[in-house]
C-alpha cells in the first residue's frame, strides 16, 4: 500500500468513498484496491489491487455461500454452488461494479489511457473483489458484509440454482470469463447406421474437460458440456474426491511442517543446554 501523492488519487479516493458510503480509517487500503497494475509499473505488487483481489475473492465467496445457505434451506449442494458461481462470476461482478460507478474511480496507468481501457471489464470485476478486501481490512467483516449484501446479494434468486437448459451456452459463458471458448470434437461413433451412438469430447483450449454420449452429435455435445459444468462447479463425485484429497494433503503438509518445527525447536533447546552444561563444567574445573 502507498500514500496519496497526486490530485487524481485524492479525487478518486473521495469519489470511491462517496459511492461506497464508507469512510476509511486507513485510506491506503482503498487506494491499493482502486489502483490498476498499469499504474504501478516498476513498483511492488502490493501497491495495486492484485493482492487484495486474492483476499477479496475468498471473503466474497464465503459471504455469498453463507447467504445462499440460509436463504434456501431446501437446496442441495449442487444448487447452492450454482447460485454462488452465478453471483460471483466475472460478468456479474463487473456488471454490478459498472452500475455503481466504479469505472469513474479506478486509477489506470499511462499504458491503459487512450486505449479505451480494453481491460475495463476485468478491472471492474477485480476492483469489486479488492474493495471487499479493503473494507474487511479497514473495518472488519461488518462493512464488507454490508457492502456485499447491499450491492450483490440483493440479486440472488432460487432460479440461479436450476440446471441450465442449454449446457453448451452455460459452459461457453463460464469459460469466456477467462477468455476461453470451448470446442467440441467427435471422438467415436458406435453402432450400425440405423442405431448410432456418438461420443464427443469438450475442450478448453488444449485441455479435455469431459465427454458426453448421445444418439445424435448435438445430444452428445450437450451432455459433454453438462458434465464439464459439473466438474468446473465441483459437484461431481470425482471433483469432491479430488477436493477432499487436496484438503487431506494440505492437512498432512501442515502437520509435517509443525512436527519439523517442533523438532528444530527441541534440537535448539538441547544444543543450548549442552552449551550451558559445558560452560558449567569448565567453571567447576577452574
- The set of catalytic residues is 57, 129
Residue appearing with cell numbers 479430488 = 242
Residue appearing with cell numbers 491506503 = 28
Rounded Cα distance, 203 and 228, in Å:
9
Rounded Cα distance, 25 and 19, in Å:
16
* CA 208-210-211 angle, 5° bins: 110
Supply φ then ψ for residue 113, to 5 degrees: -75, 140
Strand, helix or coil for residue 198? strand
Closest CA to 235 of 92, 128, 118, 82: 82
276 to each of 256, 270, 271, how far by Cα in Å? 30, 10, 9
Q: Are 170 and 229 in contact (CB under 8 A)?
A: yes
Closest CA to 169 of 186, 182, 155: 182
Q: Are 64 and 71 in contact (CB under 8 A)?
A: no
Q: Which residues contact 259 (CB under 8 A, 6 or more apart)?
A: none
Amino acid at each position: 500500500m502507498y500514500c496519496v501523492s497526486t490530485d487524481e488519487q485524492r479525487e478518486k479516493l473521495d469519489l470511491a468513498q462517496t459511492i461506497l458510503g464508507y469512510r476509511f480509517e486507513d485510506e491506503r487500503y482503498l487506494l491499493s484496491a482502486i489502483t490498476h497494475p498499469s499504474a504501478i509499473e516498476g513498483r511492488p505488487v502490493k501497491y495495486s489491487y492484485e493482492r487484495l483481489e486474492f483476499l477479496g475473492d475468498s471473503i466474497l465467496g464465503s459471504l455469498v455461500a453463507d447467504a445462499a445457505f440460509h436463504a434456501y434451506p431446501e437446496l442441495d449442494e449442487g444448487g447452492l454452488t450454482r447460485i454462488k458461481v452465478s453471483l460471483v462470476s466475472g460478468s456479474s461482478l463487473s456488471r454490478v461494479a459498472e452500475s455503481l460507478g466504479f469505472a469513474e474511480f479506478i486509477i489506470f496507468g499511462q499504458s491503459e489511457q487512450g486505449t479505451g481501457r480494453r481491460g475495463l471489464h476485468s478491472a471492474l470485476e477485480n476492483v469489486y473483489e479488492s474493495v471487499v478486501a479493503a473494507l474487511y481490512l479497514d473495518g472488519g467483516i461488518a462493512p464488507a458484509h454490508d457492502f456485499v449484501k447491499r450491492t450483490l446479494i440483493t440479486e440472488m434468486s432460487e432460479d440461479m440454482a436450476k440446471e441450465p437448459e442449454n449446457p453448451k451456452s452455460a459452459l461457453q459463458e463460464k469459460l469466456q470469463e477467462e477468455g476461453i471458448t470451448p470446442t467440441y470434437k467427435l471422438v467415436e461413433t458406435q453402432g450400425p447406421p440405423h442405431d448410432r451412438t456418438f461420443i464427443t469430447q469438450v475442450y478448453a483450449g488444449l485441455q479435455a474437460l469431459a465427454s458426453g454420449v448421445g444418439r445424435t452429435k448435438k445430444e452428445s455435445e450437450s451432455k459433454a458440456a453438462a458434465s464439464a459444468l459439473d466438474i468446473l462447479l465441483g459437484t461431481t463425485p470425482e471433483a469432491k474426491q479430488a477436493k477432499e484429497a487436496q484438503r487431506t494433503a494440505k492437512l498432512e503438509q501442515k502437520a509435517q511442517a509443525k512436527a519439523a518445527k517442533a523438532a528444530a525447536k527441541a534440537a535448539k533447546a538441547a544444543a543450548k543446554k549442552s552449551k550451558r552444561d559445558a560452560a558449567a563444567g569448565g567453571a567447576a574445573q577452574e
